[in-house]
Structure 1
């Protein structure tokens, strides 16, 4: 890949495993890295918890009602993000991941911008997310986009919950 390649963020329209186009590989990398960071490293995808294996094997079913964004540089899928369908005017951002080989090129920011534009278009008043406390770079990114730490809605140790309301 070269720096001249244009970043494209799209919401793929084909909702089948055949239309996956790199999403499963990105989700697998995300979950394997997260397990390792939590001190629960596993050898491969088959050793992940069932709910994560389901996301990887059939993301279009698991995220069927949600907006799935995929960032591409040329022919390569290099990042992903899921925005949950709104419930009572609120959506959640999940699974923001950028291939480590292309970090620092604005891909996560592009995905986040597209996600926030999507929520605004759909009248979402509040967007929330949770992020592991050791992912300080991600926390800083979210803060630059107007998210602030809020009371936790998730009992797992080490999670930071953040919220952003529409301007």
Structure 2
């Protein structure tokens, strides 16, 4: 991201090594808050996500954060990993893999949900994806997480259907596969 994206109350930017502890605390809190709820996405801190995995994403410049008053209140990863589980979808935007971005690990601090952080972070992800030359940004979201599905649709993502996906941590779950057209 050439510059930080600033809203009235939030700043979105690429995370740095100095942010790692705060980023880990955010994901750990989110894992605890979602466990056993109707919107449980089955993240288990230390299994997925992990401190080492997040550190790798920071080093690669792929992890974005949203901050308010110096506190990390949201995060996500934008990369172009060729996820084999996504092959089940009929993607509308057919481009070579180097032009496909993937949004992962999207999270908002449970104590700050509903405060407008998610749209700011999604805007930052769009900017980074375009800077990297991606024509589309894809994601998956568990079928039980309807608030997230609605958020992504409001942001312009198209739902390509619900598919049974097998995740790298062994979780098997029905999930919406969604894509955003970045060409316009």
Classify the TM-score, shorter chain.
0.7 to 0.9
Deviation at 1:50, TM superposition (A): 5.7
TM-score by length of 1: 0.76
Contact kept, 8 Å, 1:31 with 1:52, in 2: the verdict is no
In the alignment, does 2:45 pair up with 1:7? Answer: no
Deviation at 1:29, TM superposition (A): 2.5
Deviation per CA, 1:79-138, whole angstroms, max 9, x where unpaired? 111111464211111111111221111101100000011111111011110111121111
**Matches of 2:40 and 2:151 in 1, distance apart?**
26
Aligned to 2:77: 82
TM-score by length of 2: 0.70
SS at match of 1:9: strand
- Aligned match of 1:110 in 111, 120, 125? 120
**Matches of 2:29 and 2:177 in 1, distance apart?**
22
Aligned to 1:100: 110
Aligned to 1:158: 174
- Aligned match of 2:48 in 41, 49, 52? 52
Q: Where does the alignment leave 5 or more consecutive residues of structure 1 unmatched?
A: none
Alignment CA distance shift 1:37-1:161 (3 Å): farther
Kindly indicate whether structure 1 or structure 2 has the higher relative contact order, using CA contacts under 8 Å at least 6 residues apart.
Answer: 2
**Matches of 1:126 and 1:153 in 2, distance apart?**
22
Deviation at 1:30, TM superposition (A): 3.1
Aligned to 1:68: 63
**Matches of 2:177 and 2:48 in 1, distance apart?**
20
Alignment CA distance shift 1:74-1:52 (3 Å): same
Aligned to 2:25: 25
CA RMSD, 1 decimal: 3.0
Q: Where does the alignment leave 5 or more consecutive residues of structure 2 unmatched?
A: 1-7, 82-96, 167-171
